[in-house]
Structure 1
Amino acid sequence: MKITLITVGKIKEKYLRDAIGEYSKRLSKYCKLEIIEVADEKTPERASEVVEESIRSKEGERILKYIREDAYVITLEIGGKQLASEELADKIEQLGIQGKSQIVFIIGGSIGLGKEVLKKSNYALSFSKMTFPHQLMRVILLEQIYRSYRIINREPYHK
């Protein structure tokens, strides 16, 4: 299975890059992992809804270029479905059983995802009603994907 993370913006902090590197290394045992960073747009202070929608649209165009037609797309959204770790593991396992060869997880920028990206989504996933920095969210998502593969393979994991 190929797991692709498409994310808006670069990781600036070394400790986050280190954590992403660690989980990427751990995941290499279970899947082919690809992380694609697309450029983010500068959002002006107190931007209007029209300006924000334009920014989401531009970022969305960059994201959509990397999504293959046969990929199963999971967008991270505050309003998405919240799953327990075991449920995410089951979802990943079932997609593999159904013959899906690629799962694409999309993490938007600071103001979320554009309409065109949301239309492409097969599943909206939420980690919490709380808001997390999108750079930290990358680490959290990778940890949960890693945990999912540990669960799928009936290997010990921290509960």
Structure 2
Amino acid sequence: MRITVVAVGKLKERFWADACSEYLKRLKAYAKVEIREISDIDPAKAGGVDASREREGAAILVAVPEGSHAILLAIEGKERSSEGFARRLDDLALSGKSDIAFIIGGSDGVSDAVRARANEQMSFGPITLPHNLARVVLLEQVYRAFKISRGEPYHK
């Protein structure tokens, strides 16, 4: 399986980068995982929130691999347990979708074009997470999903 995480914003603090690096290292045994960072656009410099969201959205669309099954992380998306998430990834793989792209938008959300490109939306619940933390949680949950699917210890 090939997984691409398209995320708006850079990991500035070392602890976020270290956490992501740890899960990327663990995931090497299960999948090819790539992070594609999109620069966040300052609304004050872009002519407003809508303009910055559109510019970020255009960059997201370029970064999502062609033909991939795109999953947008959004509060209004489908919530799944860790086991349910593992089953969803298994179902996608079994249906021939082995190229998955997860999209983590910017602090002002994503453009309508990004929402239209997404094949589905996923949520970690009704809470709001900082985007850096959402990236760490996503990588951890992807790793946990592979462990669950293979019946390997970790997820208890």
TM-score range, shorter chain: over 0.9
Question: How far off is 1:24 after superposition?
Answer: 0.1
Q: What is the aligned-residue identity percentage?
A: 45
Q: How does 1:71-82 map to 2 (within 5 A)?
A: 71-82=68-79
Matched residues in 2 for 1:15 and 1:138: separation?
A: 12
Amino acid at match of 1:23: Y
SS at match of 1:65: helix
Aligned to 1:34: 34
What are the superposed Cα offsets for residues 102-141 of structure 1, whole Å, 9 maximum, x if unpaired? 1000000111111000000111001011101001110000
Confirm whether residue 17 of structure 1 aligns to residue 17 of structure 2: yes
Report deviation, 1:150. Answer: 0.2
Q: Which residue of 2 aligns with 1:122?
A: 119
**Residues in 2 aligned to 1:158 and 1:87: alpha-carbon distance in whole angstroms:** 13
| CA distances 1:7-44 after superposition (whole Å, capped 9, x unpaired) | 00100110110000000000000000000001101134
CA contact (8 A) 2:148 2:155 kept: no
TM-score by length of 2: 0.95
CA RMSD, 1 decimal = 1.2
Gaps of 5+ in 1: 45-49
Q: AA paired with 1:22?
A: E
Tell me if 1:89 matches 2:86.
Answer: yes
Q: Please, which runs of 5 or more residues in structure 2 have no aligned partner?
A: none
Secondary structure at the aligned position of 1:77 is classed as strand
TM-aligned CA deviation for residue 66 of structure 1: 1.9
Equivalent pair of 2:43/2:51 in contact (CA under 8 Å): no
Shift of 1:70: 1.5
State how far apart, in whole Å, the 2-side matches of 1:109 and 1:24 are: 22
Displaced runs of 4 or more, over 6 A: none
User: 1:157, CA displacement in angstroms?
Assistant: 1.9
Q: 2:148 is matched with which residue: 136, 147, 151?
A: 151
Number of residue-to-residue matches in the alignment:
154
Task: Indicate yes or no: 2:101 matched with 1:104.
Answer: yes
Output the TM-score relative to the length of structure 1.
0.93
